Structure 1
Amino acid sequence: MTLTKVVIYTFIAAIAITGAAYAYRKPQNLFIAFIKNFLGAFLIFSGAVKAIDPLGTAYKMHDYFIAFGGFFPKLDPLTLPLAIFMVVLEIVLGIALIIGSYRKLTVITTGLLILFFTFLTGYTYLNGFVNPKYFDKEYVAEMQAQNQEVPMIVEFDENNMKVTDCGCFGDFLKIEPRLSFYKDIFLMVLIIILLMSLSKITPLFAGSKAGLIILLVSTAITFIFCLSNYVTDLPMVDFRPYKKGNNIPQLMVPEREAEQEFTFIYENSNSGEVKSFDMKNLPKKEDGWVFKDREVNIIDPGIPAKISNFLVLNEEGEEVNADLLEDENYNFWIVAYSLEKTKKSVFENKLNDLATKAQSDGYQVYAIASDANDDFRHDVQAAYPFYTADATFLKTIVRSNPGLVLVKNGVIIDKWHHKHIPTYEELKSEYLK
């Protein structure tokens, strides 16, 4: 899926909605009706893919709060309720636009929401032009001592961005920051058109009672749906690379290797001449050439691997990826992105018994956490090793803390939310045959 396809499908949906609404109640202005329906359908779709995985939106808010700095990191405990609020608001506003209820309030609130999104996508994209070295006081002082200025604005570099993905469509669709920013600018233009044409927006239902009922019911359903995708179970659709059936080792290989060309810049200490060289024709130091900089020309960006951050370490700090991914037998991963925030009772009442029985049948069991420690292992009396991995990586594997993942030869057989962890007998009957 691409942003272009999303726009095309939304365009088609808007035509269908406009046609159906026209048959039910003729609008004052067909063009305005189409714009509000397009915007409404777009918001509903954008909100729906995030409602499937509200934790993913909360994690993205966490990234932004850390990037903003200041007092924002203190808001981290609010990321999940804020994420759910934003998702519900987005969907309900989309529905309100389509049915034309509370025209002024709906359009203004939608405009404020999109303005907020525009700020986030703009922050994400425009940070690519900001030189991070400009804020390094020691580096700036060193350059100034050499009579060299350190510019604040530089050519766009994705590595300069503090947040590399806006999360507009959750994990369903990743789009480059530039397109995401332009997308929100386009939506703001549509909002301005609607603001200038409020009187031409025709409500689908006469009177406000029907519209109010629809919006209240939509709010309740969306809220309950969000909760069902993290409080009681895993997301109903898994958009991440660690979904059931995926072969992890295969996804760690780039679909197409990137092709780059390096240029090395040297300055001659004798003549002051500055010249560029390729890798095959580097100058000799004895001729007075001193290395100054390196430029990278990307000939083909390639298609990167869908999984590029798989790294698990044992108690000694040694990589154990092979133990987890090359085991031809079934093995169990108990994944907890934070032991500090996890539920000890799940380990004590469910996972320990499952692990003991699995180990007695010859299966390997590993606990993987970002803050693995012996104190926790002793507290819950776990008789299996605790490995360490990055918290973001663990959050991507399973949206539960803890969660259980069944793997065989690097393929994810299944995974479970901590409220739905089966007994070992159930696992043995259904999977371990």
Structure 2
Amino acid sequence: MNRSKEPIWLMVIRILLGCLFIASSFMKAIDPVGFGVTMNDYFVSFHMGFLHPLALFAAVVAIACEFILGCMLLFRVKVQWAAWGYLIFMTFFFFLTLWLAIAEKLETAGIHYFGVVKDCGCFGDVIEMTNMQTFLKNVGFIIPTLILFFNRKKLSDCRMTELGQWLAVVVFAAISVAFQMYVIHHLPFIGKSDWKKGKDVSVFVAQPAQKDVVFVYRNNATGEKVTLSQDELMNQDEDFYNNNEYVSREDKIIKEAVKAKIDGFNMLDESGADHAPDYFATDREGEVYILYVHDLSEANEKGMQKVLPLAKDCQEKGIDFVGITNSSEEEIAAFVEKFGLEFPLYHNPINPITGPFMVRDAMRSNPGIMLLDKGIVKDKWAWRDIPATAVQM
């Protein structure tokens, strides 16, 4: 059919839907590991946890399919196939998000707990939406999808041969997959992560109140009380003690305690002591390199071999180098022995179902390195990009 016969209103719908899918796929493609996490959440929610090893693969395929369909529709490549693809895609997610919206309402009402995913991840981490908002969004999008599908005979392919169009589809797929592979092998370079370079991540760690011991004395003649710090008390002469009587010792709060933005991020040693406030404090002196390995059993061994030279260089230069993982203490002990680690590897215990998965959110690479200075993320590296020596910031 001749291109000129495509109605203007149908062209507008086609272009808008094409751009929608391309934009949506791009928002997920900038962090495919994050969307893989969402896919795994879906698997767990639907009692298909055995599919966990396929979560990232499923994410890459889903993102690529969405991008391919968007490009096919926008550039009129195999547009009849694209119309069918849109219908299948939108119908599936229409009913999925309908179920999520209903299930979440039932959970909120206390009727039944389904463990539903709270954010569908339709737009990655760029735009967060509740399940009800996502469902309403899909209601709005499925209407033009149906209009497009039932008027698909009015759409014509671009002026390319059959082979040329299929080659174009392959190119669309290659672009999406190549882009995602780059991000997976390195780190997301754009996005709204709370742990990206330049962010103040001290807000995720509870800071205890800072206290100072003060001593209260009463003047023997006037009865007036005087409060002295320990240093001030040490500087007093004998006359002070002769003329003043000790009353009490008190703890004076110098700095109020700070509550964490999200509970659950800690760095526990074998005794259960939390070292996170030490490394994330805004008044901390000196930088600290933190190794993130959210799952020791899945840590890339080549990556760990790249970590060791940096850890050794930090040790020689007197720079703190520590690690954190969600794995168990038994796994930590075996991991430390396997790689001969000479730095502390702390434990961040989490609920494997509900999280919070802050170690995984902080670093998409497993393993990966983060450089902190006074609670600010100065730099981050996936294991392939880890420098061999400490970087001077």
Q: What band does the TM-score fall into relative to the shorter chain?
A: 0.7 to 0.9
Of the three residues 179, 186, 195, the one matched with 1:225 is 179
User: Residues 123 and 313 of structure 1: is their aligned pair in 2 closer, same or farther, counting only changes over 3 Å?
Assistant: farther
User: Residues 315 and 92 of structure 1: is their aligned pair in 2 closer, same or farther, counting only changes over 3 Å?
Assistant: same
In the aligned structure 2, how far is the partner of 1:238 from the partner of 1:417? 16
2:193 match: 240
Of the three residues 342, 360, 373, the one matched with 1:395 is 360
Of the three residues 354, 361, 370, the one matched with 2:326 is 370
User: Unaligned regions of 5+ residues in structure 2, if any?
Assistant: 207-259
Q: Say yes or no: does 1:314 pair with 2:269.
A: yes
The structural deviation recorded for 1:175 is: 1.4
Q: Is the 8 A contact 2:77 2:168 kept in 1?
A: no
In the aligned structure 2, how far is the partner of 1:337 from the partner of 1:119? 33
The structural deviation recorded for 1:166 is: 0.6
Report the AA paired with residue 361 of structure 1. K
User: Residues 40 and 252 of structure 1: is their aligned pair in 2 closer, same or farther, counting only changes over 3 Å?
Assistant: farther
1:110 match: 86
The structural deviation recorded for 1:74 is: 1.3
1:88 match: 64
The structural deviation recorded for 1:112 is: 1.1
Q: Say yes or no: does 1:68 pair with 2:46.
A: yes
Q: Is the 8 A contact 2:205 2:280 kept in 1?
A: no
Query: Which one has a bigger Cα radius of gyration?
Result: 2
Of the three residues 292, 308, 311, the one matched with 1:335 is 292
Q: Say yes or no: does 1:405 pair with 2:362.
A: no
- Partner of 1:366, secondary structure, is strand
2:220 match: none
In the aligned structure 1, how far is the partner of 2:299 from the partner of 2:204? 29
Report the AA paired with residue 176 of structure 2. T
The structural deviation recorded for 1:88 is: 0.4
- Partner of 1:96, secondary structure, is helix
Deviations 1:114-136 (A, max 9, x none): 222223322332212224897xx
Q: Is the 8 A contact 2:199 2:377 kept in 1?
A: yes
The structural deviation recorded for 1:310 is: 2.9
Deviations 1:256-282 (A, max 9, x none): xxxxxxxxxxxxxxxxxxxxxxxxxxx
Of the three residues 26, 31, 37, the one matched with 2:4 is 26
Q: Say yes or no: does 1:197 pair with 2:162.
A: no
- Partner of 1:340, secondary structure, is helix
The structural deviation recorded for 1:44 is: 0.3
User: Unaligned regions of 5+ residues in structure 1, if any?
Assistant: 1-23, 135-150, 153-158, 254-304
1:288 match: none
- Partner of 1:26, secondary structure, is helix
Of the three residues 272, 281, 303, the one matched with 1:346 is 303
In the aligned structure 2, how far is the partner of 1:27 from the partner of 1:233? 46
The structural deviation recorded for 1:180 is: 0.8
In the aligned structure 2, how far is the partner of 1:375 from the partner of 1:421? 23
In the aligned structure 2, how far is the partner of 1:101 from the partner of 1:385? 55
The structural deviation recorded for 1:198 is: 1.1
Show structure 1 runs of 4+ deviating over 4 A: 131-134, 250-253, 305-309
Equivalences, count: 329
In the aligned structure 2, how far is the partner of 1:374 from the partner of 1:234? 28
The structural deviation recorded for 1:378 is: 1.3
TM-score where L is the length of structure 1:
0.71
Of the three residues 316, 321, 338, the one matched with 1:379 is 338
User: Residues 131 and 225 of structure 1: is their aligned pair in 2 closer, same or farther, counting only changes over 3 Å?
Assistant: closer
The structural deviation recorded for 1:178 is: 1.3
Report the AA paired with residue 35 of structure 1. I
User: Residues 196 and 238 of structure 1: is their aligned pair in 2 closer, same or farther, counting only changes over 3 Å?
Assistant: closer
The structural deviation recorded for 1:320 is: 2.1
User: Residues 399 and 27 of structure 1: is their aligned pair in 2 closer, same or farther, counting only changes over 3 Å?
Assistant: farther
- Partner of 2:33, secondary structure, is helix
Cα RMSD, aligned residues only: 2.5
In the aligned structure 1, how far is the partner of 2:94 from the partner of 2:205? 33
If asked which structure has higher relative contact order (CA below 8 Å, sep 6+), I would say 2
Q: Is the 8 A contact 2:198 2:378 kept in 1?
A: yes
